[in-house]
């Protein structure tokens, strides 16, 4: 494939999806990431797209939201690895909330095996993934269906969450920065995500490396409210993503990095100056009881974590 044809295909993919990783672009155009990176630089020089943390986005700084069909084919291996690791932070008998998104949908598929679990969600995809799990209770919010991501939004969804108290919220989004935290491109989705956060004692963000450093219009979770980030390991050349991870760790966010093989273990990014990664700042007080289950929220978390050597 000639360079002109390659670059046209890259441009069409970015226009269709809003944001695409270099890894995915290389796979589609059947060339190396080095070549794709060179093509992206050329297109950026023409003002046709912007480079962003191991990928390319539409020009203008704030990416638009992609629809579900496009999102479901982006960073699929990374989302699988993240979901495998995140599932280790869910205890038997817990009550949790799970927001909308393709990564949280992957998580839900793994939660079907956790006995005694109650999942509150505004996502039809999450509910569908758990529909046949006979040991998991699914509680749907009210609201208006937003077809682009199969989520319930609006005042009905927010009101149904009032008075709810659960141990953890698992959320995804369109972008994550140390400066603003988690953000999304849609105002209605952002409002419901904020209501989900208010219901939880801890907040766990699921975001693959292509979202690191991406800032979108509506903030959903400020950095100081995020307890843990579960992500995948950025490519070795992606220095900006590594810098963003370190900045998040320096602000007290616990960062669990899924192994490249997608195994349930992971690495944890240490904060600078050799201080240990702090514990959850929104930890549930002793004896906290979920209004959904009426059972004490467990304090221990599973999952293997180890120090990640800084590059």
Instruction: For residue range 198-254, list pLDDT tens digits in order.
Output: 999 999 999 988 888 888 888 999 999 999 999 998 877 767 788 899 999 999 999
Q: How far apart are the first and last CA of the chain?
A: 35
Residues sharing a CB contact under 8 Å with residue 191, sequence separation 6 or more, in sequence order: 153, 158
**Is 211:175 a contact under the CB 8 Å cutoff?**
yes
* Rounded to 5°, angle at Cα 260 from 210 and 72: 45
Position 74 scores a pLDDT of: 53
Position 82 scores a pLDDT of: 95
pLDDT band at 22 (very low <50, low <70, confident <90, very high): confident
* pLDDT tens, position by position, 23-72: 888 888 888 988 988 898 888 887 778 776 677 877 655 444 544 444 44
**Is 231:82 a contact under the CB 8 Å cutoff?**
yes
Torsion of the alpha carbons at 54, 35, 49 and 23, rounded to the nearest 10? -40
Position 59 scores a pLDDT of: 67
Position 262 scores a pLDDT of: 40
Position 41 scores a pLDDT of: 87
pLDDT band at 17 (very low <50, low <70, confident <90, very high): low
Overall pTM surpassing 0.75 (yes/no) = no
* pLDDT tens, position by position, 90-132: 999 999 999 999 999 999 999 999 999 999 999 999 999 999 9
List strand residue ranges (DSSP E) for 16-133, in order.
19-21, 50-51, 55-57, 95-98, 117-121
Residues sharing a CB contact under 8 Å with residue 248, sequence separation 6 or more, in sequence order: 176, 178, 223, 226, 229, 255, 269
- Nearest residue to 242 (alpha-carbon basis) of 178, 175, 174: 178
Position 49 scores a pLDDT of: 80
Strand partners, 19: 57
């Amino acid at each position: 494939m000639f360079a002109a044809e390659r670059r046209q295909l890259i441009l069409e993919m970015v226009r269709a999806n809003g944001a695409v990783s270099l890894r995915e672009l290389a796979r589609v155009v059947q060339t190396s990431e080095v070549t794709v990176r060179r093509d992206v630089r050329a297109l950026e020089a023409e003002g046709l797209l912007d480079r962003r943390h191991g990928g390319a986005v539409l020009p203008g700084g704030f990416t638009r939201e992609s629809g579900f069909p496009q999102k479901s084919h982006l960073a699929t291996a990374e989302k699988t690895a993240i979901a495998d690791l995140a599932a280790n932070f869910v205890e038997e008998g817990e009550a949790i909330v799970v927001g909308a998104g393709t990564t949280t949908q992957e998580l839900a598929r793994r939660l079907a095996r956790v006995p005694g679990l109650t999942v509150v969600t505004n996502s039809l995809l999450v509910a569908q993934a758990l529909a046949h799990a006979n040991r998991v209770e699914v509680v749907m919010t009210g609201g208006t269906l937003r077809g682009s991501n199969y989520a319930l939004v609006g005042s009905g969804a927010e009101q149904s969450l009032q008075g709810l108290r659960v141990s953890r919220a698992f959320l995804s989004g369109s972008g994550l920065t140390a400066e603003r935290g988690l953000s999304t491109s849609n105002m209605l989705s952002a409002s419901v995500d904020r209501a989900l956060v208010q219901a939880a004692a801890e907040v766990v963000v699921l975001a693959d490396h292509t979202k690191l450093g991406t800032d979108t219009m509506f903030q959903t979770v400020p950095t100081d409210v995020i307890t843990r980030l579960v992500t995948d390991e950025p490519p070795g050349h992606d220095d900006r993503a590594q810098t963003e991870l370190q900045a998040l760790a320096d602000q007290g966010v616990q960062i669990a990095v899924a192994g490249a093989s997608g195994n349930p273990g992971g690495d944890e990014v240490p904060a600078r100056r050799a201080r240990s990664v702090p514990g959850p700042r929104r930890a549930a007080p002793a004896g906290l009881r979920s209004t959904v289950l009426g059972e004490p929220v467990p304090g221990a978390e599973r999952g293997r974590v180890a120090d990640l050597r800084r590059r």
